[in-house]
């Protein structure tokens, strides 16, 4: 039965008044927030080494040491490590520290045109290699555990293959290995980025890098936004409105937006390798990817490997991560698929308990 017109109008007026009140309360909350209040990557850490714009940090311990082997977090160049340390209750970093892990971090800084000639060779065989040696000198260990995230996982995979004598364990999260594994995947939405990357004309990639020296962070931000256009269109006028009067939820929203907006430029030479040799030519999984004059053979990875990926990842399709299992030389290999998205794996309140249980337990079992 249709609601009488007068009653429906009164209901509309009531809802409108409530929404106006919510909006005004939200504006009062927003008015009291400053940029310094939206703190990301705030877990205390000490600078240990700086080379060029790259910095090595050691996090301050918060619990009794439970895993002796130091763990080095390596994030990618297309974003900032702060995703893994968004806020106290959504922080992989804080959770690992609470489990007694000696945690280190490489911060790539913000490359610009001056870094246009830096290649993946430099990042893997120079910056990561020097960081590993420094950690070993500081701690007295002869090996470290590498924890790679996304593109950083590709860096750590390459390092583990080229320098297996320095790597105790390899932990990978949302890491692409076979960049063409999604081609026959019926869930095409999970491979839109791969499809777009493969469709780029190699000469267009060269033109952009030659002209700008970098792959601009703003450019990649727009690409990621276009992958989920409805989410991008509605988050400010629908999602934000729903939470604007709840300060805790609003701060989580703002921290996510701050991380999304803080996307550095990608060094040009490394970008060419990333787009052309990996996304387009798929050299890594085919044992054709070369760094510093040496082929990266995945079969050389003989240490324990933990491979965690997200089943709902729209940036790195699960098939691209799973491909690692049949390529490495190690017999101690574990895959952990989790029902989250690319970012949700790290910032979802539901994923924290699972992720922080899996990694420390796996490391403790191999910490002889």
Active centre residues (catalytic): 150
In angstroms, the Cα distances linking 47 to 81, 126, 245, 341, 343 are 15, 18, 38, 32, 27
CA torsion, ordered 343, 360, 102, 65, to nearest 10 deg: 150
Based on its alpha-carbon atoms, the radius of gyration of the chain, rounded to whole angstroms, reads 22
Spatial separation of the C-alpha atoms in residues 324 and 153, rounded to whole Å: 12
Spatial separation of the C-alpha atoms in residues 146 and 171, rounded to whole Å: 6
Q: 161: exposed, middle or buried (C-beta count within 10 Å: 0-12, 13-18, 19+)?
A: buried
CA end-to-end span of the chain, whole Å?
72
Q: Of 167, 102, 164, 168, which Cα lies nearest the Cα of 139?
A: 102
Exposure class string for 2-21: b at 16+ Cβ within 10 A, else e: eeeeeeeeeeeeeeeeeeee
Strands 333-338 and 305-310 come out as: parallel
Residue 306 CB neighbour total at 10 angstroms? 21
Spatial separation of the C-alpha atoms in residues 269 and 257, rounded to whole Å: 28
């Amino acid at each position: 039965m249709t609601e009488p017109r007068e009653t429906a109008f009164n209901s509309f007026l009531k809802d409108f008044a409530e929404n106006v009140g919510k909006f005004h309360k939200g504006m009062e909350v927003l008015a009291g927030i400053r940029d310094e209040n939206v703190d990301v990557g705030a877990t205390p850490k000490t600078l240990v080494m700086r080379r060029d714009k790259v910095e090595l940090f050691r996090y301050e311990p918060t619990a009794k040491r439970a895993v002796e082997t130091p763990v080095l977090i390596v994030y990618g160049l297309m974003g900032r490590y702060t995703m893994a340390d968004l806020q106290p209750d959504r922080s992989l970093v804080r959770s690992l520290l609470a489990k007694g892990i000696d945690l280190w971090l490489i911060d790539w800084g913000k490359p610009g045109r001056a870094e246009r000639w830096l290649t993946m060779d430099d990042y893997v065989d120079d910056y990561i290699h020097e960081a590993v040696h420094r950690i070993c000198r500081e701690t007295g260990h002869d090996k470290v555990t590498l924890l790679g995230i996304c593109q950083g996982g590709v860096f750590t995979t390459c390092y583990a293959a080229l320098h297996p004598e320095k790597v105790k364990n390899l932990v990978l999260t949302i890491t692409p290995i076979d960049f063409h594994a999604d081609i026959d995947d019926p869930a095409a939405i999970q491979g839109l980025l791969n499809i777009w990357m493969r469709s780029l004309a190699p000469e267009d990639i060269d033109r952009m890098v030659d002209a700008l020296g970098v792959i601009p962070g703003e450019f990649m931000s727009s690409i990621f936004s276009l992958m989920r256009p409805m989410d991008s269109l509605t988050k400010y006028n629908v999602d934000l409105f729903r939470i604007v009067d709840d300060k805790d939820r609003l701060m989580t929203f703002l921290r996510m937006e701050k991380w999304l907006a803080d996307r550095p430029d990608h060094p040009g030479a490394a970008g060419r390798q990333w787009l052309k040799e990996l996304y387009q030519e798929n050299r890594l999984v085919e044992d054709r990817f070369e760094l510093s004059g040496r082929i990266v053979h995945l079969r050389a990875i003989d240490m324990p490997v933990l491979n965690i990926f997200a089943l709902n990842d729209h940036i790195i399709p699960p098939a691209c991560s799973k491909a690692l299992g049949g390529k490495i030389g190690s017999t101690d290999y574990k895959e952990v698929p989790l029902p989250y998205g690319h970012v949700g794996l790290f910032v979802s309140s539901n994923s924290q308990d699972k992720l922080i249980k899996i990694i420390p337990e796996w490391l403790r079992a191999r910490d002889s």
